[in-house]
Amino acid sequence: MPIPNFQSIMLPLLKYFGDEKEHQLRETIDTMAKQFGLTAEERREFLPSGRKSIFDNRVGWAKTYIKKAGLIEITRRSYFKITKRGLEVLQENPKEINVRYLKQFPEFLEFLAPKREKEELKEEEEEEEEEGIETKELLTPEERIESAYQRLRQNLATELIQQIKNCSPSFFEKLVIDLLISMGYGGTRKDAGEAIGRSGDEGIDGIIKEDRLGLDIVYIQAKRWENPVSRPEIQKFAGALMGRKAKKGIFITTSAFTKDAREYA
């Protein structure tokens, strides 16, 4: 099954604490994973940053939210236990516990917006209700931050690619060599690479040293294209490498590679 959002974890998590025993966070995460029937692969899915697994992150935030609402409490480092309020909530037998449900508790409202008037928060809630906006609440704060970061990064990449396409061929030639040097090829720009532009061609042919010692040469082809690079172009490049008795080559494009091109490479 898909990894549950952090709000879907809140009620099962509180029920798990319903035995009134003290539970350690790591043990709790493992139990929740079994309860939701997650596979080993799903447990290994990470946030875009690669620093934390998605499920661990969501259980952690579900725990934080119900704790801020006063439903569980810390007993010692990384250990938690249900509170009297938490037991009362379970006795009410709610169908679900989510952010909207937790807003009935003053401590939780303070956690969400400590510097805002409760009236403002209520107005925002009413607006969201009218517009049906609840998707953003399915993501943990950390996921929202990472999602925003990825969108900004993608927008920046798109803008950079467009600027590169609008620049002169000579700039593109230098850019490709500088990129490869930054990736660890060669040493300095002066002795690492050589870029030779071709008139009437939207790419370059060049060479660069594989390492700082210059023990091997890598041939380069780059295309300032709008359309994806297809298999025939890769075949031509491979043929050119064979003609030079070259062992290695790098093909760079401002667009993309087709599936056939990737499979051939």
Structure tokens at 185: 């090829």
β strands within the chain, DSSP E: 23-24, 72-76, 79-82, 193-197, 203-209, 217-223, 249-253
3-state secondary structure 16-31: HHCCCCCEEHHHHHHH
Q: Tell me how far CA of residue 194 lies from CA of 55, 175, 242, in angstroms.
A: 48, 12, 20
* Number of neighbouring beta carbons within 10 Å of residue 69: 26
Q: For residue 205, what are the β-bridge partners?
A: 196, 221
Q: Tell me how far CA of residue 34 lies from CA of 5, 27, 69, 210, in angstroms.
A: 15, 11, 25, 48
Local structure of 218: helix, strand or coil? strand
The two beta strands, 193-197 and 79-82, are unpaired
**pLDDT, position 172:** 84
As to burial, measured by CB atoms within 10 angstroms (0-12 exposed, 13-18 middle, 19+ buried), residue 51 is: exposed
**pLDDT, position 197:** 54
**pLDDT, position 232:** 93
First to last CA, the chain: 35
pLDDT string in tens for the chain (265-residue length): 689 999 999 999 999 999 999 999 999 999 999 999 999 999 999 988 788 899 999 999 999 999 999 999 999 988 999 999 999 999 999 999 999 999 999 999 988 876 554 444 454 444 444 444 445 568 888 888 888 888 888 889 888 888 888 888 778 878 888 888 888 887 666 666 666 555 444 345 678 887 767 678 888 888 888 899 999 999 989 888 888 888 888 999 999 999 999 999 9
Structure tokens at 103: 């807003």
Of the candidates 74, 68, 94, 97, which has an alpha carbon nearest to the alpha carbon of residue 28? 74
**pLDDT, position 61:** 94
Set out the domains of the chain in order of their start, with CATH numbers: 6-150 (1.10.10), 167-264 (3.40.1350.10)
